[in-house]
Amino acid sequence: TQHRRHRRAVRAFTRRNHETHWIPDISPEHASAFTQLYAHTMARVAATTDYRFGAQTLASLMSLDEMCLVRSTSEIGVSGAALFLRSGNDLFYYLGASADDRPAGTNNAIFDTAIHCAQSRGLRSLHLGGGSESLRDFKSQIATGTVPYSVVQRIIDEPRYAALCETLGVSDSTHFPAFRAKLVERRPR
């Protein structure tokens, strides 16, 4: 079930004639608009380079059959958007972006649309993921329940993994994957 505060924000958003749209087949135009909005959002929130994906990476992600987009529009145009990944019977929140002057309830409406579209397609759950304390607080206002989950650290292609670690000069690390520490170290901040 959904949290009362979330439902109230969604009702207020739709009362002002704002809309959200589930886009299962992401067109190049939708992909381009999301990429621009995402870059602007990452700059606004001063996101680290871990979250600043380039246009080519985002285009590749959005070309996946399992990826879908939920987009909100208002009098300012596109006010927010989020990417969701379908896997089996589950839907996973992947990335989100929003305009500086978005109407109140924009993000709530995006998640509400994702919930209803997932339910109508017979998906069993929407996993919102973790995040900073403020992001977790927002996500906990969407639903009243949680489900257990686990993180699996598994190397699927051992020879390729070993070659990558060797190329980066990593033999032992407390990071997983081991080469991640070197990649992060090399990124410009």
CA atoms of 111 and 135, how far apart (whole Å): 13
Quote the CA–CA distance of 58 and 67 in Å, as a whole number. 11
pLDDT of residue 72: 92
Q: H-type helices in the chain, by residue range?
A: 4-15, 28-44, 55-62, 106-120, 133-140, 158-167, 180-186
pTM, two decimal places: 0.74
- Predicted pLDDT of residue 32: 95
**4-140: which CATH topology?**
Aminopeptidase (3.40.630)
Q: Where in the chain is the domain with CATH 3.40.630.30?
A: 4-140
Neighbours of 94 (CB within 10 A): 15
Report the distance separating Cα 50 and Cα 179, nearest Å: 14
Average pLDDT of the segment spanning 141-158: 73
Mutual angle of helices 55-62 and 28-44, in 10-degree steps:
130
- DSSP 8-state assignment for residue 107: H
Confidence of residue 67 (pLDDT cuts 50, 70, 90): very high
pLDDT in tens, 94-148: 999 999 988 778 888 898 899 889 989 999 888 777 665 666 666 666 766 676 7
